[in-house]
Amino acid sequence: MSAMSRAIRACAATASRRNLSVAAAWPKEASAAAAALVTGRRGGMDRGEDGSRVQWVFLGCPGVGKGTYAGRLSRMLGVPHIATGDLVRDALASQGPLAKQLAEIVNHGKLVSDEIIINLLSKRLEEGEEKGELGFILDGFPRTIRQAEILEGVTDIDLVINLKLREEALLAKCIGRRKCSQCGGNFNVASIDIEGENGGPRMYMPPLLPPAECESKLITRADDTEEVVKERLRVYHDLCEPVEEFYRARGKLLEFNLPGGIPESWPKLLQALNIEDPDNKRSAAA
Indicate which residues carry an active-site annotation.
66, 143, 177, 221, 232
**Does residue 138 contact residue 58 with C-beta atoms inside 8 Å?**
yes
Helix (H) or strand (E) holding 99: helix 99-106
Axis-axis angle for helices 114-130, 145-154 (nearest 10): 30
DSSP string, 163-203: EE--HHHHHHHHHTEEEETTT--EEE---EEEPPGGG-PPE
Q: Which residues contact 105 (CB under 8 A, 6 or more apart)?
A: 111, 112, 113
Furthest-apart CA pair in the chain: how many Å?
57
Q: What is the DSSP string of 125-167?
A: HHHHHHTT---EEEES---SHHHHHHHHHHS---EEEEEE--H
Residue 33: burial class (beta carbons within 10 Å; 0-12, 13-18, 19+): buried
Q: For the chain, what is the total number of helices (H) and then of strands (E)?
A: 11, 10
Residues 6+ apart with CB under 8 A from 108: 228, 231
* Cα gap 145→128, rounded to integer Å: 25
